[in-house]
Structure 1
Amino acid sequence: MKYYLFIIFSLFLGFANSQEINYTEQDPLPREPESLSLTSFPDDIYFIAKKDFHLKSTPNNFGRKLEMILKGTKIKPLDSIGAFYLLCQKGNCGYAHKNFLQYSEKVVRNKNKK
């Protein structure tokens, strides 16, 4: 009995997957979201490396080492995932823990004194 149910279920899945999907202008093609990030960094925000560290291939401390970042290097964040920032240096993009970075922001403030 289980064997017959398995065959019927398999045939149904094969039929369901073979159906062609016709998109119209009212139903645009599904797209990936532009950014899965919860944080968007403005152009005037940079980080400065507190000490020498390596960019990692994954947002944890166990990833493969990609690029060495030297102390004092100014680097722009692209994204943040938990306590890690996605950074790019010399064409290599990787993750760094927030403890390795010092926040630096160039802010132009308009002071209106009355």
Structure 2
Amino acid sequence: MRHAPAWVLAMSVLHVAAPASAKSPPACDIADPTVITRQADLPSAARAAIPFTMADPGEPFHVTDVISPGTEDEPFRRLICAYPYGGGLVIQYEQGGFAYGVMKLLLERSGDRYFAR
């Protein structure tokens, strides 16, 4: 029995790892006039509670785990939207790196502060 050369397997893995959504970002989960699509529009306390850096929609970020020269400062996450949920906010974002995905972060509000959950 013959086995596929190692480079064929490597190319297959690279093809699977590149998400289709890198070309067209996913849409926000909800259609609501209160949806926030720029980090600058988030309350400052909410921005301070996000435990990682993110690009805004349309800005470059690391979709895969390949870091090209000149892109070292790009984040691995990109905001899709944020929207009110209960007394806090849901932050929906793209997560790049080895396994691309769409994630959510819940920011709970207590007084004038937000806490990531």
TM-score category of the 2 structures, normalised to the smaller one:
under 0.3
Relative to the length of structure 2, the TM-score reads 0.26
Relative to the length of structure 1, the TM-score reads 0.27
Structure richer in strand, relative to its length: 1
Pick the structure with greater CA Rg. 1
